[in-house]
Every structure is written in structure tokens, then in C-alpha cells.
Amino acid sequence: MRTDRPIPHYLPARLVAARYAMNIRSLDRWAEDDRLNFPQPVYLGRMRFWKVADLEAWERSRAGEVP
């Protein structure tokens, strides 16, 4: 099931990838890398969504880190 309707407070994978200026495969690697502590997605069927609050909390936790 594919939907273009937004789900309040959640972003689909393509928008999460765009948020961090990366492609979907890089997003997959981030989600699989335990060292990054990147939020895990919520699945609706085969589609992945990330809770915006989780992404914002992750961003705040990394704000002081040097790349």
C-alpha cells in the first residue's frame, strides 16, 4: 500500500533521507549502525516512517559532537 498522505508527527523514509541530505541506502546504513543510535523506523506494511520527535531528540543528542 502506497500513500502520499502525510501521517501527523511522522516522516516517510524519503523525507528523512532528504532531511539529512542523503540517499535511501545511506539512511538504511544509519538505521543499521548501532554506534549512531539513530532512531528506528515504524513500519506500516513495507513503508517506513520515523517519528519526528525521535529525530529531533537524536539531533539534539548529537549537537555537540564533532563529525
Indicate the pLDDT class of residue 48, thresholds 50, 70 and 90.
very high
User: Does position 26 have pLDDT exceeding 70, yes or no?
Assistant: yes
Report whether 11 contacts 22 (CB < 8 A). no
In a domain, 30, yes or no: yes
Question: What distance in Å separates the CA atoms of residue 34 and residue 40, rounded to the nearest whole number?
Answer: 10
Mean pLDDT across the stretch 23-28?
96
- At 4, is the pLDDT very low, low, confident or very high (cuts 50, 70, 90)? low
Question: Average per-residue pLDDT in the chain?
Answer: 89
**Would residue 31 count as lying in a domain?**
yes
Domain tally, the chain: 1
Model-level pTM? 0.82
Predicted pLDDT of residue 5: 60
Domain, as residue range, for 31: 10-62
> Containing H/E element for 44?
strand 42-44
CA 18 to chain centre: 10
